Amino acid sequence: MFGVVYGGFIVQGLALGTLFALYARDRWGRLWQGRVWDLPRAVLGTRPQQAASVAAAVLAVLPAGAHLLWACGSTRGLNADRIADRTSDFYVVEAQSAGYLVLAVAAALTLAFRRGRALPVKVPLAAAWVAGAAAACWAGWQATASLVVAESAAERPTALMNLTYAGGMIVGVLVAGLVVRFLVAHPAAANRRTV
């Protein structure tokens, strides 16, 4: 039964991901053509975009650092329940969370400051979209789950855990906002505004 249920989820996820990639290519494919440096300054490199990417980088220091510490085995800032339940899965998820935050910020800075002159636009754009969404969604889920009233103090999230979740969510939303701004501000987007 387990294999059938989770096998179905895997097939469904792969199908939805493939369909979205095909839709995105047809809908926005012309927007991510070319190199980062070749894009007009109105699309990339405006002061608000640069300020948002720097804010995301500054805000990512705490959550990325906390996730990295927890991935390396530190128990600082974890509640007693989480410390007792750490398995290899915990360390992998924490390393991924730190990696998503770092990748999202690096991609946002690359786009906003137009670095990587020869880099195809689709590389930092896809990295910002995927890593920013992963950071925002996972941190959002953790923040929502932390609102559940715990029966004991050992189960309640610590202040550092709550700050880590909130910081990850904010960073992910800022980076996703930069991607959306890119898609809206691109001159080729004005040619096709229909859904």
Query: Quick one: 113 and 42 in the same domain?
Result: yes
Mean pLDDT of 106-135: 89
pLDDT band at residue 48 using 50, 70 and 90 as cut-offs: confident
With 0-12 / 13-18 / 19 or more C-beta atoms within 10 angstroms meaning exposed / middle / buried, residue 9 is exposed
- Kindly report the pTM of this predicted structure: 0.83
Round to whole Å and give the CA distance between 73 and 42: 44
Determine what percent of the chain falls in helix, strand and coil, rounding each to the nearest 5. 75, 0, 25
Residue 155: strand, helix, or coil: coil
Mean pLDDT of 108-113: 90
Question: Structural domain tally of the chain?
Answer: 2
Query: What would the pLDDT profile of 61-105 be if each residue is shown by its tens digit?
Result: 999 999 999 999 999 988 888 888 888 999 999 999 999 999 999
Q: Which pLDDT value is given to residue 128?
A: 94
Question: For residue 97, how far is the Cα from the chain centroid?
Answer: 9
Query: Quick one: 24 and 82 in the same domain?
Result: no
Query: Quick one: 185 and 101 in the same domain?
Result: yes
pLDDT band at residue 195 using 50, 70 and 90 as cut-offs: very low
Domain that holds residue 89: 35-191
Query: Quick one: 86 and 165 in the same domain?
Result: yes
pLDDT at 40 exceeding the cut of 60: yes
